[in-house]
Structure 1
Amino acid sequence: MKQTSTLSEKIKQFSYILIPILITQLAMYAMNFFDTMMSGQYAKNDLAGVAIGSSLWVPVYTGLSGILLAVTPIVAQLVGAKKNKEVPFSVIQGIYAGVSLALFVLLIGSLALEPILQSMTLEPEVRSIAKHYLIALSFGIIPLFVFNVLRSFIDALGMTRTTMIITLLTLPINVIFNYLLIFGKLGMPELGGVGSGYASAITYWLVTFIAIMVVHRQKPFNQYHIFKRLYAISFKKWKEIFLLGVPIGMSIFFETSIFSAVTLFMSKFGTEVIAAHQAALNFSSLLYMMPLSISMSLTIVVGFEIGAKRAQDAKAYSKLGLTTSILMSSMSGVILYLFRTPVSTIYSEDTIVIGLIAQFLVYAIFFQFSDAILAPMQGILRGYKDVNVTFFIALISFWVIGLPLGYILANYTAQGPFGYWIGLISGLAAGAIALSFRLFAVQKRKTSEIATTPSDF
């Protein structure tokens, strides 16, 4: 990354960072899609088992891995401040912290997985597939968390295209191992849906190995000598990572787990409604990759500019990111409204389900507008290392406003299942408004601090 002085330079640099992140997110989304789709092609019980396993794993993974996103603003600000010698120590401590989180997940999983699955009303075969799918996945948890740290380091340098290439290389590997282990091809054991768990674990090891080789050998990463020496564990640095990362991770957890909760509440409305809700939510998650990618890009560029004590440039990037997000979401909203029925037919051939999906997708349009503001603001504030207030806003928006309001509308008004979506949209809108005030206050304070602080350069 480099300093920019004009709007056109900022657009060019921001696009250079954003586009690979977007492609990377889509590729990672595709891995989960292929796991589910190929398991469904094997048998319906395998599809159900993998779906249950994924619904338990995704909120936990996104929440805990979100903690490691703290490495991105930490490294971005160090690089912006030209403190490159401090980078390897921070990255290695991030890896140590990632391994500790992975071990924590394995410990809790070994104790809680069986009781959780037993508490759910599942057919024995589905419960068994879900259990063994998660056990298979667990063999790749440690390298997955290590990769998240290395990805944060790579992205913090603005080299998001490298992450994109690594992820795209591993996507076909994941699909191939899915095919071999789910269906038992080329002498491999026929494991059904459980095979997709082992395929993912193998993919996690490969993607981490590739990332280590890239960081160790390729420019500009090898100039930081990340693996040149073995640092002792520094709980002081862990404290910095966790103080910054825990609010980020918990904010992500609150946002992802709310949809799992809504899905459980939806069960009273029947199979067609559940299927339509899941399909619309799946497509909404695909569209969410755009504001999410913009959010991650903003954390990098804002962190870099704040580290270099260029408050006005950080504000300029913030405006650019928000404008881009709103424009892109407006375009996707119009397209979604016009093509909501054709999109619905992708997921089902049942006319009732198709009609319900199309109705849910209308509400998904309003999701897009709220996410277009909320997600980028979260990324901007992370770039400023301001995360605690964001955490509380996420908690209140989703669990104090969104879910209770949705429950009331769904169960005590004529809105029915759509009431949950109205509640979540209201929570998102409330969060976006609250974050707007927080961002204004943080930018004003940071501008004042930098103006009164002597420059290091």
Structure 2
Amino acid sequence: MQFKAIISPSPNIRIKIPIIKQFSLSSNLRHPKIPLKPFNLCFPESHQIPRNLQKVGCISPSQEFLGENLQTHEPESEINPEILNLQPSKPTNVAEEFANQSTWDQIIEIVKFSGPATGLWICGPLMSLIDTAVIGQGSSIELAALGPATVLCDYVGYVFMFLSVATSNMVATSLAQKNEDQVQHQISMLLFISLASGVLLFLLTKGFGEWALTAFVGAKNMNLVSAANSYLQLRALAWPAILVGYVTQSASLGMKDSLGPLKALLIATALSGIGDIVLCVFLNYGIAGVALATAASQIVAANVMIDALNKKGYNGYSFSVPSLAELQEIVGIAAPIFVTMFSKVALYGLLIYFATSIGTHVVAAHQVLLNIFGMCSVWGEPLSQTAQSFMPELLYGANRSLKACFYKQARSLLKSLLIIGASIGLLLGTAATSVPFVVPNFFTSDTVVIGEMHNVWICFFLALSVTPCILPSEGTLLAGRDLKFISISMSGCFALGALVLLLVRSQVGLVGCWSALVGFQWARFLISLRRLLSPNGVLFSEDLDHFKLGELKVA
């Protein structure tokens, strides 16, 4: 987006310029004094939001003013000699204070922010892990059926994470630019897009779900289709709630709030676990009971996250139809992210497809390992979210008078994120790799499946240990709006992983599948790190115009 920086004519002198008193509705938009309506649909022709209060002649957020005394309404035009000093302005926002800290202090602050955010990313894989453990104790066939079913459920939902990333990026950047009057409208537009996409996915699943599963598993594994389709159809009931939840959760994270969404997902995880036990263990509903419990918990989580957003003064039930121009701006952000997400999901889908083609025991072992991998890899997601929440203030913030200082602070922040990521990667890689050896019967009692899991421990460790370093690197690229590069590089990494998969999977089975994943993960990390360290990267280049998109105008 093209945002206009507010630059002072002098780095040390604050000039008070008289302006005509203005009336602004921006505070009312964020903190409405009337009860929020349960549903509000806005069309672009009738939606008009004024810009935020004008800020002139200021060099930092602490020096922004209206040019008049709000109590006496008297204009102020003279220069106050008492404010003339040679001291540099102190940081006055969270991002600047955070970036000015030492590396160790930054690490502590990152942990404080990302600690609750970790729970957000763990809840989803934890629900899948619970599903896997419960189903694995009953039937190897249903455990294997979870593989193709999750491709058309969880993985398709992961593709739509571009809505989540776009929301967080847009909200954080708008707040960094002091464009608070745009935030509600941006949220409303993205809520409408997510709701429409969720309804479309529900209809497509109902109409073509069984056909897609049949084509995916192939003629050798037709015995998996019935169980997989039962799971898929029940999970499809929650599609609208899932995508709306993506937007509301990411809007809160863009406001640097991770506690509200965490509360929602903790409730959802508890409901999913209780539902699995009641429906599967006591009522013997099997894979259908697991799907029903998960879908119900996701619907509850979406409603709790909407309520958390409402408490911040925004309307989580407001759905605004974007105009054609606004839709083009959103697509400009979301399309490269969609390509990125699709590349990841496509590779994971290929892994399951080839594992399924090898045999039932192989895909069952792959399903267990992939769930452990997913559960552990999300520990790096809060580092990505930290970069996306704090980097925009340093790269695109309103205070741009000290660009070189901000770039140095941004690089320092990335260094802290990578240190944490490397530590987490080694710890999780070691712990997760030991699970199939220490507690193999936790997921399945089938000795053949356990043996397949033991064969890939080296590849499993190499793929998992680098993941927490990948995510903050890519999160920094997303925060810097280097979207074209990240989408092209991800597509290239997908092509490399798919090529390795085609070449080695027939000779070495499941080991070949995980070797392809190792190549995919390490290529992502090395390419993104090289881009960030490049003189033309977002952390070094003082001309960020080629990374920005056009300003998203409020209709």
Smaller-chain TM-score bracket: 0.7 to 0.9
**Which amino acid letter does the alignment assign opposite residue 375 of structure 1?**
L
In structure 2, distance between residues paired with 1:275 and 1:124: 15
Contact 1:94/1:238 (<8 A) preserved: no
Match of 1:379 among 475, 481, 489: 475
Residue in 2 aligned with 1:429? 522
For 1:5-404, what aligned pairs fall within 5 Å after superposition?
5-7=100-102, 8-41=104-137, 43-119=139-215, 120-121=218-219, 126-182=224-280, 191-217=285-311, 221-222=312-313, 225-227=314-316, 231-267=320-356, 269-308=358-397, 309=400, 310-335=406-431, 341-344=437-440, 346-349=442-445, 353-398=449-494, 400-404=495-499
Match of 2:512 among 402, 412, 419: 419
In structure 1, distance between residues paired with 2:282 and 2:456: 38
More helix by share: 1
- Shift of the 442–28 alpha-carbon distance from structure 1 to 2, 3 Å rule, reads same
1:159 is displaced (CA, Å) by 0.9
User: Secondary structure of the residue that 1:385 maps to in structure 2?
Assistant: coil
Q: Which has the larger radius of gyration?
A: 2
In structure 1, distance between residues paired with 2:128 and 2:281: 17
Q: Deviations over 1:137-196 (max 9, x none)?
A: 2221111111110000111111112211221122112223334444675xxxx7432233
In structure 2, distance between residues paired with 1:264 and 1:53: 11
1:20 is displaced (CA, Å) by 1.3
Contact 2:194/2:240 (<8 A) preserved: yes
Deviating more after overlay: 119-128 vs 88-97: 119-128
1:29 is displaced (CA, Å) by 1.2
Contact 1:370/1:425 (<8 A) preserved: no
1:446 is displaced (CA, Å) by 4.3
In structure 2, distance between residues paired with 1:229 and 1:269: 48
User: Secondary structure of the residue that 2:219 maps to in structure 1?
Assistant: coil
Structure 2 unaligned runs (5+)? 1-92, 401-405, 546-555
Deviating more after overlay: 264-273 vs 140-149: 264-273
In structure 2, distance between residues paired with 1:243 and 1:192: 43
In structure 2, distance between residues paired with 1:228 and 1:107: 22
In structure 2, distance between residues paired with 1:174 and 1:75: 30
User: Secondary structure of the residue that 1:443 maps to in structure 2?
Assistant: coil
In structure 2, distance between residues paired with 1:40 and 1:114: 23
1:63 is displaced (CA, Å) by 0.4
User: Secondary structure of the residue that 1:395 maps to in structure 2?
Assistant: helix
Contact 2:191/2:244 (<8 A) preserved: yes
In structure 2, distance between residues paired with 1:139 and 1:98: 15
> Which TM-score applies when normalising by structure 1?
0.85
User: Secondary structure of the residue that 1:137 maps to in structure 2?
Assistant: helix
1:340 is displaced (CA, Å) by 6.1
**Which amino acid letter does the alignment assign opposite residue 88 of structure 1?**
Q
- Shift of the 155–236 alpha-carbon distance from structure 1 to 2, 3 Å rule, reads same
Deviating more after overlay: 33-42 vs 426-435: 33-42
User: Secondary structure of the residue that 2:338 maps to in structure 1?
Assistant: helix
1:258 is displaced (CA, Å) by 1.4
Q: Deviations over 1:381-430 (max 9, x none)?
A: 111122222122112112x2112123323335xx5542332233223222
**Which amino acid letter does the alignment assign opposite residue 496 of structure 2?**
I
Structure 1 unaligned runs (5+)? 451-457
User: Secondary structure of the residue that 1:447 maps to in structure 2?
Assistant: coil
Contact 2:261/2:308 (<8 A) preserved: no
Contact 1:277/1:360 (<8 A) preserved: no
In structure 1, distance between residues paired with 2:448 and 2:210: 36
**Which amino acid letter does the alignment assign opposite residue 129 of structure 2?**
F
**Which amino acid letter does the alignment assign opposite residue 368 of structure 1?**
L
In structure 1, distance between residues paired with 2:222 and 2:436: 37
- Shift of the 293–246 alpha-carbon distance from structure 1 to 2, 3 Å rule, reads same
Deviating more after overlay: 79-88 vs 348-357: 348-357
In structure 2, distance between residues paired with 1:51 and 1:417: 14
State the percentage of identical aligned residues: 17
Contact 1:77/1:306 (<8 A) preserved: no
> Which TM-score applies when normalising by structure 2?
0.71
- Shift of the 250–275 alpha-carbon distance from structure 1 to 2, 3 Å rule, reads same
**Which amino acid letter does the alignment assign opposite residue 305 of structure 1?**
L
- Shift of the 429–102 alpha-carbon distance from structure 1 to 2, 3 Å rule, reads same
Q: Deviations over 1:289-329 (max 9, x none)?
A: 22233222222221333232543332222221112111221
Residue in 1 aligned with 2:503? 408
- Shift of the 406–81 alpha-carbon distance from structure 1 to 2, 3 Å rule, reads same
Q: Deviations over 1:325-381 (max 9, x none)?
A: 112212333445667621545444455544442331221121134324322211111
Deviating more after overlay: 423-432 vs 322-331: 423-432
- Shift of the 444–382 alpha-carbon distance from structure 1 to 2, 3 Å rule, reads closer
User: Secondary structure of the residue that 2:315 maps to in structure 1?
Assistant: coil
In structure 2, distance between residues paired with 1:106 and 1:196: 18
In structure 1, distance between residues paired with 2:206 and 2:321: 29
